[in-house]
Amino acid sequence: MASNRINRINEEIQKALADQLRTVKDPRVAEIMISITRVETTPDLRYAKVYVSILQDDKAEDAIRGLKSAGGYLRRELGRILQLRYTPELVWTLDDSITYGAKMLKLINSLEVKHDDGTEQD
């Protein structure tokens, strides 16, 4: 039963942070397309690991630094919105699952398929 509560809190944190990212004035965050893919909160609600996907790979490290810099502001806003007893400390992690999925799709599409009759198809 507690896991359902944690899952709901994770979803609420994800929604609230996605909304609040637009209000961050740091150019490392404001000028880049950042997407929050998932949130994992510890059972005691002290820490929340926030997985973010950044479309511009060359600016990913700067964006993570910007998010860490804006972490206090985002945590304060998160506490105001969610009104939990403890507002979790945000730990930002780069999630490359979208990039990995696109790479795998490209590899799959590049394979040649042999039919039963011996002909090949791209």
Residue type at 48? A
Q: What is the mean pLDDT of the chain?
A: 87
What domains sit in the chain, N to C, each tagged with a CATH number?
Answer: 2-99 (3.30.300.20)
Tens-place pLDDT, residues 66-109: 999 999 999 999 999 998 888 999 999 998 877 788 888 888 98
What is the per-residue pLDDT for 114? 67
What is the per-residue pLDDT for 116? 65
| pLDDT at residue 115 greater than cutoff 90 | no
| pLDDT at residue 1 greater than cutoff 50 | no
How many CB atoms lie under 10 A from the CB of residue 70?
22
| pLDDT at residue 45 greater than cutoff 60 | yes
Pairing of β 113-114 and β 120-121: antiparallel
Are the beta carbons of 24 and 36 closer than 8 angstroms? no
